[in-house]
Structure 1
Amino acid sequence: MSVTVAELSVTGDQLRAAVGTFPSGVTVVTTLKEDGTDVGLTVSAFASLSLEPAMVLLAVDNASTSLPYLTVGAPLGISVLADGQGPVAYQFSKRGVDRFAGVATQRGRGGVALIDAAAAFFVGDITAAYPGGDHTILTVAVRECGTHETARPLLYQRGQVHDWPEYQI
C-alpha cells in the first residue's frame, strides 16, 4: 500500500512537536563562495549515510540564505559542536550577522572553515542534492574526519540546545 502526500493529515506543528522529542547533535556546516568568502549555518539534520564509500547526509531548509552555495561539487566542512558551544550554534543560525565573528576556526581540505574544539569534524564534497519537502537533502563524500576524543556533543531537542547531562549510567 502506498500513501500519497495528499493523504497525509499531520500538521507541521504536530510533526515538529513529535520529532522534537528526539535529541540530535548540532553541527555547523561551512563552504566557500566563489570569491573565497566563508559561508556557514547551523544544521541539526545530519546523519551517517555509508561506510563504503564514506558518506554523510544533511538536510538544509530551502529558505536558507546559504543553500545557493551548497552545490554539487562544492567543498563542505561539518563541525559537530561540543558541550558548551551553544552560543556558536545560535550565532550560525542568525541572519544578517557575520556568523564567523569571534569564532575560532581552522582550515580543512579545500579551505573550508572548521570550528575549533568541536567534538568531531568531517570534510568532503557535496555529491548530490535531492528535494525533501521544505528542505534539500545533500549527500557528502567524506575525504577526512576526526574527533576530539574527550569532547561530548552539544544536543538539540525541542527547539533548544542543551549541554550533555551530568549523570552516570
Structure 2
Amino acid sequence: MTLTVADLTVTGDQLRAAVGTFPSGVTVVTTLKEDGSDVGLTVSAFSSLSLEPAMVVLAVDNGSTSLPYLTVGAPLGISVLADGQGPVAYQFSRRGVDRFAGVDTHRGGRGVALLDGAAAWFAGEIVHAYPGGDHTILTVAVHDCGTHESARPLLYQRGQVHDWPEYQI
C-alpha cells in the first residue's frame, strides 16, 4: 500500500504544535544576487547531512522572497546565531526591510556574508534542491566552517527564540 497526501489526517496546526516542542538552533542563511548584493533569511530547519563529503541540509519556505536566489550552484553562507542574537533572527525574518542594516558581517567563501558573533558558520555551495511540501529542501556542500567555542547557540522552540539564561532544559 502506498501512502498518499490524501491519507494524511494531521493538520498543519497539529504538526506545528508537536514539532514546536523540539528545540532547535536558529541560522541566518545568505547568498548573493547576480549583481553581487547580499540576500539573507532566517532558517530554523537546518541539520548536518554527511561528514564524508561534508554536507548540511536546510529547508526554505516556498513563499520566501529569498528562495529564487537559492539555486543549485549558488554560494551559501550559514551563520548559527548565538545567545543574544534573537533580534537578528527576527530582523532576517521580516519582509520589506534591509535585513543587513546594523548587522556586522565578514565575507566567507565565494564572497557570502557571514554574521559576526555567530556561534558557528558554514560556507559552501548548493548542490541539490528538492520539493518538500510547502518547503524546498537544499543540500549544501560545505567548503569551510568554524566555531566560536565560547558562544552558546540561540534556541528556537514553540515559535520563539530563547537565550540560554531564560531557557532551562
- TM (norm. structure 2) is 0.97
**Aligned to 2:84, what secondary structure does the other structure show?**
coil
- TM (norm. structure 1) is 0.97
Which residue is equivalent to 1:108? 108
Shift of 1:29: 0.1
Which residue is equivalent to 2:46? 46
Distance in 1 between the 2:81 and 2:46 partners?
Answer: 12
Q: Does 1:96 align with 2:101?
A: no
Matching residue's letter, 2:110: G
Note the residue ranges of structure 1 that are not aligned, 5 or more in a row. Answer: none
Distance in 2 between the 1:102 and 1:79 partners?
Answer: 16
| Deviation per residue, 1:118-149 (Å, 9 max, x gap) | 00000000000000000000000000000000
Q: Does 1:77 align with 2:84?
A: no
Which residue is equivalent to 2:156? 156
Distance in 2 between the 1:27 and 1:37 partners?
Answer: 20
The total of aligned residue pairs comes to: 169
Moved more, 1-10 or 109-118: 1-10
Distance in 2 between the 1:54 and 1:134 partners?
Answer: 26
Shift of 1:167: 8.5
Which residue is equivalent to 1:138? 138
Q: Does 1:10 align with 2:10?
A: yes
Which residue is equivalent to 2:29? 29
| Deviation per residue, 1:68-109 (Å, 9 max, x gap) | 000000000000000000000000000000000000000001
Shift of 1:2: 3.6
Distance in 2 between the 1:135 and 1:168 partners?
Answer: 30
| Deviation per residue, 1:11-54 (Å, 9 max, x gap) | 00000000000000000000000000100000000000000000
Note the residue ranges of structure 2 that are not aligned, 5 or more in a row. Answer: none
Distance in 2 between the 1:164 and 1:72 partners?
Answer: 35
